[in-house]
Copies of this chain bind each other. A is one copy, B any other.
Amino acid sequence: MPESVKHVNQIPVEKVSAGSHTYRQVLIGPDEGPNFAMRRFIMEPGGGIPAHTNTVEHEQYVLRGRARIGIGDRVYEVKAEDVLYIPVGVPHWYEVLGGENFEFLCMVPNRDDQIKLVGSD
């Protein structure tokens, strides 16, 4: 693919069905980047995603806001400029803290991702 330069506001926003008050933008998708994708997640106050696993690892960078995030057996409070690595298959969940949107980038390899809610079959 050729080069591209775009602003996040030009990129469509889709609702994340597994989450509440959670939206996603695919900033650079598998159609453009040959090896990995860059997505932005936006969670409104009171929102989040319940515990789930993925079949791809996540590399994340918090852009703004605060959240409580569970990864495996541990719980973290995260804020802007925090960097997270979530390995394949480790259950994780998100809960927005405070009255501001929680926004982060989430990069994943271009590989089939099976999302499974913990407790479901």
Contact = CB atoms under 8 A, between A and B. Distances in A.
Interface residues of A, number: 39
Interface string A93-105: 0000000000001
Contact of A3 (B1, B74, B107): B74
Given A27-B61, A36-B109, A59-B33, A5 B82 contact: yes
B28 A85 contact: yes
Nearest to A77: B5
Contact of A7 (B63, B72, B81): B81
Contacts of A59: 28, 33, 36, 38, 107
A85 B74 CA distance: 35
Contact of A85 (B1, B76, B109): B1
Interface in A1-37: 1-9, 11, 27-28, 32-36
Given A32-B85, A36-B59, A36-B109, 15 more contacts: A1-B87, A3-B71, A3-B90, A4-B83, A4-B84, A5-B71, A7-B81, A8-B83, A9-B81, A11-B83, A28-B59, A33-B57, A36-B36, A38-B107, A105-B105
